[in-house]
Structure 1
Amino acid sequence: MTLVLALVMLTLVLPWGAAPATRRLAALLPPREACAALTGAAVLLAGGTVAALIGLFHVPFLASLEQISLTRAASEWPAAVPVAAVAGAVLLLQAVLVVRRWCERRSVLARAWASTRDAVSDGDLLVVPDAEPQAFALPGWRKRGGRVVVTTGMLKTLGPAEREVLLGHERAHLTGRHHVWSVVAYLAAAVHPALRPLRPALDFHLERWADESAASSVGNRRLAATAIARAALAAASAEKTGGRRGPLLSVSTGPVPQRVEALLGPVPVRPQARRTRAAAAGLVTAVAVSALLGLGLAYGLHEYVEFASRALLAE
């Protein structure tokens, strides 16, 4: 039992190493693949953590199912009940945090939609009469489809060609359902503290994904870089004065200088160098193993308790 508990504890520690590895992997990939790697790792690592905790929490109950009293189980496995109690408390805390974060996101979305009451609609575009320069992709809400929200202040800041870049950027967020990716990472971070750095990394790569889509739509990477820089600078200035609107994914999200620098470079492609591909494959394997280990250990813990219970009953 001590060995099993040690392995489960190892599963709970592994995300501290797997999360930084995933961020390094994302830096080697094009934006879309980077988002898939970060989101997939967040889901797998959070799932492995929850599976390991559920396995620990169920040890006394599994023993009772095998007709072993709690007293005898505690005498044979002294750590079983205290560990199960701690695992149950952590699971409850995780559930509370996930629900709280979900409610926060819904509240942000509701406030964002409320801020567009005076907006002028033009297809998927909502123009809000506001001098503060703001632009963001507004996900669907209560049977209303997603919209691109732009203030009149932002439209005045940009020229016609730059506006096309901005609208292409925000539309890429909607068509790619980037808000879903961001929410998944946000909720996963409530399960394990080691996963928190994955969310800002994911938001950055989601912005890079939208930047590349906008650059492709206008066919001019330098124009896209100029438009993103100008829009982000204007939006950042508005946020300093309390003009922040809407969900977290907006034109000013993430390290803007890095985004602009990337747009001034060539179109990102998958790594071709053998050494880089080998490093990426190694990181993928490490993340997958650390995540799936939790699921495997949860099942193995169940089998161990069942086997040990039969051995006790046979005495």
Structure 2
Amino acid sequence: MRFDVYTPLLAALLLPSVSAVIGRRVAPALAARVLTAAAVLTAAATTWSLVLLTATLLGDAPPVIREARQDGHPLADPVPEAIGLAACLALAVVVWRVQRAVRAERRTRRALRRLCEGHPGDTELVVAACEVPQAFAIPGRPGRILVTSAMLSALEPEERRVLLAHERAHLTHRHGRVVTAATLAAAANPLLGPVRAAVTFLVERWADEQAATEVGDRVTTARALARAALSAGRSRRSHALGFTDRAVTRRIAALQTGPPSSLWPAAGVLALGAVAALFAAGATSDLVGLLSGALS
């Protein structure tokens, strides 16, 4: 346990550095899934490591151990007490950050769905009379696409097809869940913040590729992105998945070429997340062994 319990933290330090690489070398759909899975595994492993480090503070309660058996054995101290106390405080911060992230996600979803109130249940497209060019995919049952009148006016008919195909891809592939998972992982472990940003960008790239495939024209897709971005300007962003958000210039540049197809970086990222989980499991086994030895 003396070493295993700290390994997930090392994985959390390495994962952000490889997230940019996987974004360039792996197709957006696979890269988004793999990064999200690795982030969730790493966040869970680091959080569990904090739990284990906090649990070592039980070694400071010898009466409990002595009462378990009259000739009870002393419990070995696997980590310094200061580290256990720091882990306890960090665990409290993790709980607070995750709760705050969950509340923010719920507020955003409620605010967007309120904009769609009053429309029939089977309505997919909702057009809002607004001078700010925006478009959002709103997950739920049913999922809806919210587009402002200003955005529709800014686009040509073929470009509107791109926009709708893009937002429909968000709903079809449940990109909201992918981004939410990455967001909660980053809330549990702030070191994973760059991974969350990479996942959010990749789901937009994923939707771009889906739109280009549906429309059958990558040039038109890139032009629709550029026109929408110029129209939106510096409009206020939200936490929702939006057509004009997330590094539009990089998305346009990516559409000028084909999506990458390498698989090895994805396998490496998954392995990194798996290693963090395995070492956390190993630390758990070590701690259980220490407690069992003291109580037997």
TM-score, length of structure 2 as denominator length: 0.87
Question: Which TM-score applies when normalising by structure 1?
Answer: 0.82
Encode CA deviations 1:55-114: one digit per residue, 9 max, x unaligned: 2222344897995149x9988529565443332222221111101111011111222223
Secondary structure class of the residue paired with 1:127: strand
**1:219-234 correspondence runs (5 A):** 219-234=216-231
Runs of 4+ in 1 over 6 A off after TM superposition: 62-66, 72-75, 118-122
Matched AA of 1:43: V
Partner Cα distance (1:283, 1:76) in 2 = 35
Q: In structure 2, what is the equivalent of residue 274 of structure 1?
A: none
Q: 1:253 to 1:264 in 2, by over 3 A?
A: same
Q: Which has the higher contact order (CA 8 A, sep 6+)?
A: 2
C-alpha deviations, 1:3-48, integer Å up to 9, x for none?
x334323432331113322442232110100001110111110011
Query: How is 1:104-119 mapped onto 2 (pairs within 5 angstroms)?
Result: 104-117=104-117
1:165-314 matched pairs, under 5 angstroms: 165-237=162-234, 239=235, 242=236, 244=237, 247-266=239-258, 268-271=259-262, 281-307=267-293, 309=294
Gaps of 5+ in 2: none
Q: How many matched pairs?
A: 292
Aligned AA for 1:42? Answer: A
On the 8 A contact 1:26/1:37 being kept in 2, the answer is: no
1:48 aligns with 2:48: no
**Aligned residue for 2:92?**
92
Q: Report the CA distance shift for 1:15/1:291 in structure 2 as closer, same or farther (over 3 A).
A: farther
The one of 140, 152, 155 aligned to 1:155: 152
Gaps of 5+ in 1: 272-276
What is the distance in 2 between the residues matched to 1:203 and 1:223?
Answer: 23
User: 1:234 Cα deviation (Å)?
Assistant: 1.6
- Cα 1:80–1:33 shift into 2, 3 Å: same
Q: Distance in 2 between matches of 1:103 and 1:73?
A: 46
Pair 1:19 & 2:16 matched? yes
Partner of 2:102: 102
User: In structure 2, do the counterparts of structure 1 residues 65 and 27 end up closer, same or farther at CA, with 3 Å as the change threshold?
Assistant: farther
Residues 65 and 222 (structure 1), Cα distance of their counterparts in 2 relative to 1, 3 Å cut: farther
CA separation in 1, counterparts of 2:129 and 2:209? 29
- CA spacing shift, 1:288–1:118, aligned 2, 3 Å: same
1:5 aligns with 2:5: no
- Distance in 1, Cα, partners of 2:232 & 2:282: 47
1:21 to 1:156, Cα distance in 2 relative to 1, 3 A: same
Cα distance between partner residues in 2 of 1:76 and 1:233: 64
CA contact (8 A) 1:55 1:302 kept: no
Counterpart residue identity of residue 98, structure 2: V
Q: 1:133 to 1:305 in 2, by over 3 A?
A: same
Moved more, 176-185 or 298-307: 298-307
Residue 270 of structure 1 aligns to which amino acid in structure 2? S
Within the candidate set 55, 58, 81, 1:58 is matched to 55
For the residue of structure 2 that corresponds to 1:298, the secondary structure is helix
CA RMSD in angstroms, aligned pairs only: 2.9
| Alpha-carbon distance in structure 2 between the residues aligned to 1:168 and 1:84 | 51
Question: Does the 8 Å CA contact 2:41/2:274 hold for their aligned counterparts?
Answer: yes
Identify if the C-alpha distance between structure 1 residues 181 and 137 changes in structure 2 by more than 3 Å, giving closer, same or farther.
same
Amino acid at match of 1:41: A
Question: Is the CA contact (8 Å cut-off) linking 1:131 and 1:152 kept in structure 2?
Answer: yes
Cα shift at 1:149: 0.4
Amino acid aligned to 2:147 = V
